[in-house]
Amino acid sequence: MDKAVTSISPEAHSEIMARIKKAEQSHNVKVLYAIESGSRAWGFASPNSDYDVRFIYVHPKDWYLSVVLEDKRDVIEYPIVDDIDINGWDLRKALKLLKASNPAVGEWLNSPIVYINDENFKSQAQALFARYYRTERGLYHYINMAKSNYRGYLKQDKVPLKKYLYVLRALCAARWIEKHDSPPPIEFTVLVEGVIEDTQLLAQIHAVVEKKQQATEKSLVPKITPLNTFIESELDFFENNINKSDNHEQDPSYLDAFFQHRLSQATS
């Protein structure tokens, strides 16, 4: 467990671990990796924010030896209960998405709040993600996330406070990828300070973070014109200046070896 105990209450942590254990027993799986996603991992959770728990699990070996494997359900999902949103992906599904540079997988692997990290799963899977990472996938994901949230929520006189941070996080993630050709960090403060040099703009963003940490999830604020101006400038930049790269290893043998090793460990 990395930083879970420092940012998750002991009561919530205990309940989350109990629910993960129950999922293992109910579905006859082994959870290899479990983390916090969303605003708590990003560092701007409100007092009433949900706990967004995500995990990767593996079945016993025989489960995968099936003619109808592709028809089997490869996710475990539960309804939100007591502000805990918990669901997971089968290891094979997660590795297929990893090979495709799925940004959600990258965010899970970079989460600073880790509940379960079986046999150094995190560092090994991070190395795989770096091997298969494709810049254009991340850029496409984050730019479109910024566009949809900006156009859908931030052009009114009163706007959802959290949407500013969603848009800024997506744009700064795209900037990070464009600058470093690598997956962006998850912690919002680390991310924005790594790509924004304007101290006045940074101060405005940090003020929004502080306000979000004290407000409810649905709080509205007056439109913040300087942030809107920055967002529109960044969207214009990415519309015309996307640096694409697709030179990364695509040989699936590394994923096969990792999958087989984890499967043998889980079922031995």
**Helix/strand/coil for 155:** coil
Torsion angle in degrees (nearest 10) through CA of 93, 94, 96, 102: 130
H or E, element range at 221: strand 220-222
Residues 29 and 127 in one domain: yes
DSSP-derived letter for residue 184 is P
Does residue 89 sit in the same domain as residue 177?
no
DSSP conformation class of 74? -
> For position 193, what pLDDT does the model report?
96
Angle between helix axes 225-240 and 199-214 (nearest 10 degrees) is: 110
Token pair for 220: 């509205």
47 and 18 part of one domain:
yes
Residues 162 and 32 in one domain: no
53 touches 39 (CB < 8 A): no
Query: Do 111 and 207 fall into the same domain?
Result: no
Identify whether residues 128 and 144 lie together within a single domain. Answer: no
Domain ranges, residue 12: 4-133+249-267
> For residue 148, what are the contacts with CB-CB under 8 A and spacing of at least 6?
none
184 and 197 belong to one structural domain: yes
**pLDDT reported for residue 208:** 94
**Which long-range contacts link 91-98 to residues 24+ away (Cβ below 8 Å)?**
91/32, 91/56, 91/57, 91/58, 91/259, 91/262, 91/263, 92/64, 92/259, 94/56, 95/128, 95/255, 95/258, 95/259, 98/125, 98/128, 98/129, 98/132, 98/255
User: What pLDDT digit, counting tens, does each position of 61-119 carry?
Assistant: 999 999 999 999 999 999 999 999 999 999 999 999 999 999 999 999 999 999 999 99
- Burial category of 8 from C-beta neighbours within 10 Å (exposed 0-12, middle 13-18, buried 19 and up): buried
Please tell me whether residues 59 and 86 are part of one structural domain: yes
Specify the number of domains making up the chain: 2
**Residues in contact with 257: Cβ distance below 8 Å, sequence separation at least 6, in sequence order:** none
Helix, strand, coil share (%) of the chain residues, nearest 5 = 60, 15, 25
Pairing of strands 220-222, 114-117: unpaired
Q: Mark whether 24 and 128 lie in a shared domain.
A: yes
pTM over the 0.75 mark: yes
Q: What is the CATH number of the domain that holds 111?
A: 3.30.460.10
Is residue 209 located within the same domain as residue 109? no
pLDDT for residue 157? 82
Instruction: Verify that 128 and 255 share a domain, yes or no.
Output: yes
Listed as ranges, residues in the chain with pLDDT below 70 are 1-7, 243-249, 268
Q: Tokens standing for 49?
A: 């924010």
Quick one: angle between helices 121-132 and 91-99, nearest 10?
30
Note whether 259 and 167 are same-domain residues: no
